[in-house]
Amino acid sequence: MIQTVHVDLPGRAYDIQIGEGVLSHAGDMVGAMGGRKHVCIVTDENVAALHLARLQDTLSTAGLTSAALSLPPGEGTKSWIALERTVEWLLAEKVERGDVVIAFGGGVIGDLAGFAAAILRRGVRFVQIPTSLLAQVDSSVGGKTGINSPIGKNLIGAFHQPSLVLADTALLGTLTQRDFLAGYGEVV
């Protein structure tokens, strides 16, 4: 069963779709947002290996084309270097203000892709598809985006609300036990 939580922010409202199998409806939900029929996906290598083909299949079934940038997994990806790589890739993909960027991964990817979307062309829409427990319950909602500085974590960023969050609980089944328990620890 898919649940919808509406985040009612004036001028920045969005829905969070939660449940097993949400990913299979991603194409229809992203397609309903309008704009160009091409979306850009920012992900990490681990998520790409496990789930990217399924996401791209559902986008294709809905009449959307997609391109993906797969970055190394881990906190080191929340950096100036990865931000530059992401923004330059999005520009090469000709992302415009009405287009959609998909953040497909855990908190690192959500923060990085969300920040790239916030600063690209002074703000483009993005969809969070969180794949870790912590990202599903925390970092994918609230609009906090950013990267780390050598001085500290999350010191460079912006508040940029997602246009939609798709939290497929079935994706949690591919987490290692350590990552799943770490997510619970953070939730507590």
Range of the domain at 80: 33-187
The answer to whether 78 and 50 are in contact (CB under 8 A) is no
Question: For residue 101, is it within any domain?
Answer: yes
Q: Report the CATH number that the domain containing residue 37 is assigned in CATH.
A: 3.40.50.1970
Q: How many domains does the chain have?
A: 1
Cα end-to-end span (Å), the chain: 25
Residue 166 lies in a domain: yes
Residue among 1, 3, 35, 21 at smallest CA distance from 163: 35
Both tokens of 179, joined, read: 């990552």
| CA-based nearest residue to 42, from 141, 116, 99, 92 | 116
Taking only the tens of pLDDT, the chain with its 188 residues reads 899 999 998 888 999 999 999 999 999 999 999 989 999 999 999 999 999 999 999 999 999 999 999 999 999 999 999 999 999 999 999 999 999 999 999 999 999 999 999 999 999 999 999 999 989 988 888 899 999 999 999 999 999 999 999 999 999 998 888 888 877 777 77
- Evaluate whether residue 146 is within a structural domain: yes
Does some domain include residue 25? no
Q: Are 58 and 27 in contact (CB under 8 A)?
A: yes
- Cβ–Cβ < 8 Å for 47, 91: no
In a domain, 17, yes or no: no
pLDDT at 114: 97
Give the predicted TM-score (pTM) of the model: 0.96
